[in-house]
Structures are given as C-alpha cells and as structure tokens.
Amino acid sequence: MTGTLIEQTGAPRDDARSDAERWGLELPPGLLDREESAGVWPDNIPALEAFCAVSTQWRMIALADGREKAVGLDYPAVRAGREMAGTEVTPVLWSALQMIEIGARAAMNGEAT
C-alpha cells in the first residue's frame, strides 16, 4: 500500500519513509539506503510474484454499452496457475494477493481505490 503525507508546507510526500510513518511501520535499518528499495518492499515481493504469475486470469463481464468490466480474478484458474508455477500460497500470501487484486481491478475499471 502507498500513501501520501502532506508536510506542513502543504507539499505532498510520496515515499517509503512517509508511507511507513503513516501506517506506523518500523522500517528495517538500512532499508532505504539501498537504491533497489525504491520499488516494492521486500515483504511484498512474494505476493507480487504470485500475482504476476496469474495476472491474466480475470473474470470479465460485458456491459450494455459495449465496454468490459473486470469482476475479479478467476480463482480456479489462479489456483491452477499458481500450482503450475510451484507457488505455495499461505493464508497471509493469499490475503496479500487479494489486496493486489482489489487495486488492480479498480485500476482496470477506472475506479478510485
């Protein structure tokens, strides 16, 4: 999850340190000193890899105006995809995968998260 804090100057800050402050997270020492930490936090990498392995398995519906809408991931297809990828999905990983699904579905449908 990302968040934006507004500093006293009114300028938005959008970085890992401000996100951690907002959510009350303690960052491991040195995490932000490495350039590669600028993207995905290490704890989120397994969920992102699991999502990427099944990211084409969406259930879509057709709308009356001809557009399509993403309903969510096709869970049986996700199960097959993750098994073929050799990914063991724990309850914690499944929850993280569903959070990514919610954000991706909103983005695909042009909705605010």
Q: How distant, in Å, are the alpha carbons of 11, 14, 22 from that of 31?
A: 24, 16, 17
User: pLDDT (tens digit, 9 = 90+) per residue, 31-87?
Assistant: 666 555 457 888 888 999 999 999 999 999 999 999 999 999 999 999 999 999 888
Helix boundaries (H) for the chain:
16-23, 45-54, 75-85, 91-108
Q: Where are the domains positioned within the chain?
A: 5-38, 42-108
C-alpha–C-alpha distance, residues 113 and 3, integer Å: 11
pTM for the full predicted model: 0.64
